[in-house]
Amino acid sequence: MDDPAWKAEFARNSGKIDNTKNEVSEARFRDHGLLRYWFRGVEKFAPWVRYIHFVTFNQKPEWLNVNHPKLKMVNHENFIPREFLPVFNINPIEIHLHKIPDLAEHFVYFNDDVFIISPIKQSRFFTHNLPNDIAAFRTNYGLSQYEKMLRNNIKLINRHFDKKEVLKRDHDKWFDPSYGSKSRLTKLLRANRKFVTLRTPHNAQPYLKKTFESVWNKCGQELLLTAKSRFRNKNNYTHELFRTWQICSSDFIPYNTYQDTKMFPLVLKSKQAIRAVREQAYSLVCLNDHVMIRNYDQVMQDLETSFESILPEKSGFEL
């Protein structure tokens, strides 16, 4: 948000940051200075990673070593059709991920608020060349913009998949014992004719590139509406559409992702997040920003202190 070129484009297309609107609030775009710990976490706790495709709006942190052999800098114009640019909405970016040059067939997608804070193996994400994931229903009665987008996803899923056939074919995957209480709603709704929204862990998400290609092939016209949305709106589809499609296509291995990952909404659970990082309580944490965080600067400082306690040394990705 401090980048002059970005601010100029943002002003040209929107006018200003508006903290009363989720899609253009300060929390959507501000940099809280923790990105270097993402790179340190990958280097220290996931050395098996082959390449990092770092997607930005032509930005480069001043401390970043862009010559690192594992790092590939990716600008929006490198994979998103030019007619959809500039974009200030994560959804058009995410639905085009498969277009990133040289992206592997098997890849893990991270938002910039998801961090690795303890050792994690490649097998955490893929087993027998299939993504590890949890197939379980969740309630979806919220009125937020995000909940509405998830409902868009599931409506599209119901057009292309028969729930009865999917659950019959993959019964053991949908009712895997590892899900525990997370599968309660799935069991209650197994007789229902239609899918409801799946649980959507705020997590690092393993994907097959072919899933994106399949969804675009079947739903290209619908996805174009999202591609044209420079800012988030309630009619968008999200990357969870591709995740759900992947699951309904049987392209996954059952894994309760909640057992080693945790999402912390910092507006409510900043103290718990700070402690979880310091104590390395999980393999992955999502530190979800919000414009209403009280004592924002202090929370960020305390988080940085926690990260420094577990990742004090510069990575090779830093100058």
Which pLDDT does position 268 carry in this prediction?
A: 83
pLDDT lower than 50: segments of the chain: 27-28
Which pLDDT does position 162 carry in this prediction?
A: 97
Which pLDDT does position 2 carry in this prediction?
A: 59
Counting Cα atoms < 13 Å in the Cβ hemisphere of 156 gives: 25
- Assign 133 to helix, strand or coil: strand
Which pLDDT does position 27 carry in this prediction?
A: 45
Name 317's Cβ contacts closer than 8 Å, sequence gap at least 6.
Answer: 36, 39, 40, 43, 52, 64, 65, 68, 70, 71
Which pLDDT does position 294 carry in this prediction?
A: 73
Contact assessment for residue 251 and residue 131, using Cβ atoms and an 8 Å cutoff: yes
> What pLDDT digit, counting tens, does each position of 259-287 carry?
999 999 888 888 999 999 999 999 999 99
Sheet holding 126-127, edge to edge: 126-127, 130-133, 253-254
Which bin fits 129, alpha (ψ -120 to 50), beta or left (φ > 0)?
A: left
End-to-end CA distance of the chain, in Å? 22
* Residue 123, H or E segment: none
Which pLDDT does position 66 carry in this prediction?
A: 97
